[in-house]
Amino acid sequence: MIDLLGFSLCLFGFNGFALAKFNHFKDVFKKRPTESQSKSLLFIAWISILLSLVLCVATQSGYGALIFCGFMSLSVLIIMVFYNFLVGYVKWFSVLNSVLVVLSGLFLALN
Amino acid sequence: MKDSFFRSMTWLHTWVGLLVCWLLYLIFFAGTLSFFRDEITLWNQPAIHNVQAQTQRIEAQKQQIITGFDYLANHGANSPSWRITLPEPRIPYLVYGYAKPKEPGQRRSQFKNTQLNPNTMQELEPFVDTKGGNFFYRLHFDLHYMDAITARWVICFASFFMLIAIISGVVIHKRIFKDMFSFRRNKGSRTWLDAHNLSSVLALPFHLMITYTGMITLIFMLFPYPAQTAYDNGMRGFFNDVTPRNTMTDKAKGESSMVPIQSILDQVYTKWPHADITRVQVNQPNMAASTITVLVSAGKTLRDQAPRLIFSGATGQMVAKTDDELTNSKALYESLNSMHTGRLATCLLRWLYVLGGIAGCVMIGSGCIMWAKRIRERTKNNAKPSFGLKLVEGLNLATIMGLPLATCAFFIANRLLNPTTAERADKEILAFFLTWLAVAVIALLKRDTLQWRVMAAINTVACLSVPVINALTTNGNIVSYLMHKQWALFTFDALFLLFSILFFIQTEKLRTAKNTSKIISPSQSNNLKRQKS
């Protein structure tokens, strides 16, 4: 479950980076992002990515940084597939990603 | 030198990458497969397909070692060395082995191994002679037919070129963050550039890490001067210093009875109460100078050399051990080594390594195809392609389509060769290289879209054949593996089916693609002009 939280946070972060870009935001929401929207998305993305890194290193020690690099690769691949081939599903994907972050976080917090 | 820094870097990136891209593709391809070397060996040995992993593996180790000592004392009393290899999560069987006396001219002793099912302690069916996953592991840095030292120098230079290509690639990729998630389909060489950029960027930390640590694994060959300066007898002295050795009883003469193995194990468990012993080695058994080496798993620590204790076989006294706390330089070297091999990685990390490896293959493959495509686009319709372009196109086809086919041939040969065939393991490897050679010959003769399509179709059939032939020649198949939760075997077959589907999709895509590399002769060009007018 800790791996799932680390990965979903990383995916959430890269999703934020993608949405913060003008083209991708327009493809998904059919409108331009405002300056503050872009900045907020970038801020959330960075926090999420850093949380994922901290979680990986704290729980997996030696191999944590490597797992984090792997999570980044997988996240970029998934984001690329959604934003280039499945744009219509990005909203659903983002919701699912957020649910995963919350559920895995709650599961760990309660256990 | 070009007129601007950016153009210089572009030139450097292109040529440094192109010169060694086919070798790098082989290194990445074989290296990626090596992350599953134990699973490949498992698939290649049908005798161990049905050996279940032990539920109380570590608890059973003590008794397995005691039984092994009795077995080896009875069967290999006069042998120069004994070896007990205990089951590990990815290697589920137990091996008791003793060395046969060396024959004249032989460098290393041959071992007579007895493989056992650790759950029943019954001897397993005879193993087939195969290199399994070790073939791909050695191939990615020894290049098989080459002299090992020469091959490692070649690999080091290729890795150095790769490192330069990665760094110059980052410098020239101006829109690295802007285009991070962009992939434009059906745009010719633009699509290839996007594939190249994307596969580079998505696993950039992995590419840098694996290339740099790959060079570090061979650092003492590349840069032996500090050790040669510090030690009187050079590298040998250095290696003797960092490897625990018996210097207390190694000069003892004559025969001596061995101490009971229980007393050795008691000392091991006193030092490491939860020790996961991986191997026990005995050198010169029943001699006064005998040693018993107990190796344990390093667990999840970033450490390449397995922690070990060495005891005198005659007295039971501990004579040497690995350091509990590593010096900074040793810790750095060991951690970089273990990062490269991922030997102690979990299943998840292993798959993430494989993802990085596949991204590396795509990066190299798309890079060399893109170069050829751009030159081909610049070549005028009625002009003859240069020798360099033909060579690059031929090598692209031979490497990118030849390696998967050769790999299928290796596995098919493993199933179809008679188990009693002499030098069977070498014949499997020969099947790999002959298949690759055949593809290379075809590719150098003709390399247009039709050839790519034919190769994709052959790869489709070959990938499909691997699980089918496995089902026909062994007692298991992909369905039974799924039913019995034999995940390693199931995943192996499933991956071949997946690649078969991917190659089929490629065949279909190439069927509708324009044959851009078709050479039009001047007369054909004139005919076309006439028809148009």
Domain ranges within chain A, ordered by starting residue: 2-110
Name residues whose C-beta falls within 8 Å of residue B453's C-beta, 6 or more positions apart in sequence: B507, B510, B511
**Nearest-CB residue to B301 (from A17, A62, A79):** A62
**Do the chains contact at B206 and A69, CB–CB below 8 Å?**
yes
**Do the chains contact at B181 and A73, CB–CB below 8 Å?**
no
Q: What does the alpha-carbon distance between residue A13 and residue A49 come to, in Å, rounded to a whole number?
A: 5
State the pLDDT at residue B376: 85
State the pLDDT at residue B524: 46
**Hey, is the C-beta of A59 within 8 angstroms of any chain B C-beta?**
no
Measuring CA to CA, how many Å separate B235 from each of B225, B241, B509?
A: 9, 10, 55
| Lookup: tokens for B351 | 């798959």
**Nearest-CB residue to A73 (from B178, B206, B339):** B206
Within a 10 A sphere around the Cβ of B345, how many other Cβ atoms? 21
State the pLDDT at residue B59: 87
**Hey, is the C-beta of A84 within 8 angstroms of any chain B C-beta?**
yes
State the pLDDT at residue B109: 81
Closest CA to B181 of A100, A52, A21, A40: A21
Closest CA to B134 of B364, B450, B425, B447: B425
Closest residue in chain A to residue B334, using alpha carbons only: A62
**Do the chains contact at A84 and B182, CB–CB below 8 Å?**
yes
Closest residue in chain B to residue A76, using alpha carbons only: B202
Three-state secondary-structure class, residue B423: coil
- Tokens 């802007």, residue? B178
**Nearest-CB residue to B352 (from A62, A70, A76):** A70
Residues 21-40 of A with CB under 8 A from B: 21, 23-24
Report CA torsion sign: B171, B175, B179, B183: negative
State the pLDDT at residue B296: 93
| Number of cross-chain residue pairs from A and B with Cβ atoms under 8 Å apart | 79
**Hey, is the C-beta of A1 within 8 angstroms of any chain B C-beta?**
no
State the pLDDT at residue B532: 44
Closest residue in chain B to residue A80, using alpha carbons only: B181
Q: What is the mean pLDDT of each run of 10 residues along chain B (533 residues)?
A: 80 92 95 94 93 87 92 90 93 92 79 92 92 94 91 94 94 80 82 90 92 93 89 86 78 84 92 91 91 89 85 90 86 90 86 94 93 84 83 94 96 94 93 96 90 95 96 93 93 96 94 58 47 44
Closest residue in chain A to residue B343, using alpha carbons only: A63
**pTM across the whole model:** 0.90
**Do the chains contact at B185 and A84, CB–CB below 8 Å?**
yes
**Do the chains contact at B355 and A74, CB–CB below 8 Å?**
yes
**Which residues of A fall within a CB distance of 8 Å from B348?**
3, 67, 70
ipTM over 0.85: yes
Report CA torsion sign: B104, B106, B107, B108: negative
Q: What does the alpha-carbon distance between residue B503 and residue B80 come to, in Å, rounded to a whole number?
A: 51
**Do the chains contact at A73 and B335, CB–CB below 8 Å?**
no
For residues A44-73, average pLDDT? 90
Nearest C-alpha of chain B: how many angstroms from A9?
A: 16
- Long-range CB pairs of B36-39 (<8 Å, 24+ gap) are B36/B133, B36/B350, B36/B354, B37/B132, B37/B133, B37/B134, B37/B136, B37/B137, B38/B90, B38/B91, B38/B133, B39/B90, B39/B133, B39/B488, B39/B491, B39/B492
**Do the chains contact at B205 and A61, CB–CB below 8 Å?**
no
State the pLDDT at residue B514: 59
Residue B351 has φ and ψ, to the nearest 5°, of: -65, -35
Which H or E element spans position B111? strand B111-117
Residue B282 bridge partners (DSSP): B82, B292
Do residues B291 and B313 lie in contact, with contact meaning Cβ atoms separated by under 8 Å? Answer: yes
Measuring CA to CA, how many Å separate B500 from each of B457, B466, B493?
A: 9, 10, 11
Three-state secondary-structure class, residue B521: coil
Q: What is the DSSP letter of B54?
A: P
Q: What does the alpha-carbon distance between residue B236 and residue A27 come to, in Å, rounded to a whole number?
A: 63
State the pLDDT at residue B301: 78
Q: What number of residues does chain A have?
A: 111
